[in-house]
Amino acid sequence: MTEAFDAVDVIATKRDGGVLTDAQIDWMIDAYTRGAVAEEQMSALLMAVFLNGLTPSELNRWTAAMIASGETLDFSGLSRPTADKHSTGGVGDKITLTLTPLVACFGVAVPQLSGRGLGHTGGTLDKLEAIPGWQAVLTNQQMTSQLDSLGAVICQAGAGLAPADRKLYALRDVTATVACVPLIASSIMSKKIAEGTGVLVLDVKCGSGAFMADLAHARELAQTMVGIGTDHGVTTRALITDMSTPLGLTAGNGLEVAEAVEVLAGGGPADVVDLTLALAREMLDAAAERLEAGVVAGSAEATRRAEELRSADLAAALKDGRAMDIWRQMIAAQGGDPSAELPQSRHTDDVLAEDDGYLTSLDALKVGVAAWRLGAGRARKEDVVQGGAGVVMHAKPGEQVRRGQPLLTLHSDDTGRFARAREALDGAWTIGDAEPSPSSLIMERIVK
């Protein structure tokens, strides 16, 4: 087969700060996916992009080419509008578990295609697999059927979605080109757009436990992703949320499922409840916006549905059991037993406060690394995680603690892991005499 372009010419254009044409981008992504462009050539292009960036038009085309590398899902036949959420990853982030059934209570289908954890950030599928019998893998037909009947599904993304991204992601990891906003944004958005959702709400984490540690970079990533989604016809908005402190009081797979169930039962930590409600409100409002945008003359039904979504009492759906009902049905539909006991680690180890005072900080990254070392996470994709491992936090910043009081409880099946987890927690918290000023969980809202 005669190729349309020479990879060396494409690389040289971007190396010298030029703008790639649509045809060059389409060919380069396609040729790399099918093996006609060598790893070292794509590595060179990734580094050129890392150093020189992509224009908005290049980035949109790059993302479109990644989407076109595989299959796309189509939910247009559903009787419900669709809305999805994506988090850039953090510590104790179990929001997908609470948010998906909550939004589904109001007639909006949530096709939540999720992944596994790597390093200190937990994976939604790992958490749900702590539930006995639950299966992550569904066919496209099974997923669509569950969305139509329940309005809620959390499952593994199929291998056919954006296969170019899988190859590029692995290559970026070994070529020091991971920390590049255009490449991060296109990686996330190519998969999310290929999933076929009409609405996408992004939870962009910012702080020590997040990929973006400072607000300026988190804002740049959020704005870039919102722009890509909007330009591809997906109603997209983002919240930048604080990940300097772990979310909730647990970090670890089964531990986080138990906390999510507590929220669905009308309780749970305030920060988990607040963020669940905030993201749900954005999803319903964006779905309403999309319904209104499609209204034709005389279409009173769409207008009525939009008004219902905007006036939905989300807090009540957590309190009165509606969200819990959908959770139980969703888990059962995928082979899980929602009433089964969750795995518990064989051993625990309490970490005690050294002083009296106010807990003024609790570092999310250090807690996440500790949970990882306890067995809740993996260093390689093939590693097996422990369902009961992780960290339980007994206080959050702003609360008073007493010397000798347990601050954290470490959970693991292997007592040999405790020493390294404690090493990770060195300097993880501060205790002061003065009560710290409260901080806002939601830092900014981004729309285009």
**Exactly one of 14, 61, 80, 172 is catalytic; which is it?**
172
Q: Select from 170, 163, 199, 338 the least CA-distant residue to 264.
A: 338
**Exactly one of 14, 61, 86, 94 is catalytic; which is it?**
86
List the strands of the sheet with 400-401, edge to edge: 400-401, 357-362, 429-432
Annotation marks residue 231 as catalytic: no
Annotation marks residue 187 as catalytic: yes
Q: Select from 163, 153, 171 the least CA-distant residue to 78.
A: 153
Cβ neighbours of residue 200 closer than 8 Å, sequence gap 6 or more: 83, 84, 85, 86, 192, 193, 229, 234, 235, 236
SS3 at position 433: coil
DSSP 8-state symbol, 1: -
**Exactly one of 26, 165, 285, 363 is catalytic; which is it?**
165
**Exactly one of 187, 244, 345, 412 is catalytic; which is it?**
187
CB 253 within 8 A of CB 130: yes
Annotation marks residue 165 as catalytic: yes
List the strands of the sheet with 83-87, edge to edge: 83-87, 199-206, 235-242, 442-446
Element (H, E) at 110: strand 110-114
CB 182 within 8 A of CB 53: yes
Annotation marks residue 126 as catalytic: no
Measure the CA–CA gap between 273 and 255, rounded to whole angstroms.
16
Element (H, E) at 407: strand 406-412
Cα distances from 184 to residues 71, 109, 131, 246, in angstroms, run 21, 26, 31, 23
Separate counts of helices (H) and strands (E) for the chain: 17, 13
**Exactly one of 61, 80, 127, 191 is catalytic; which is it?**
191
Annotation marks residue 172 as catalytic: yes
Catalytic residue annotation: 86, 165, 172, 187, 191
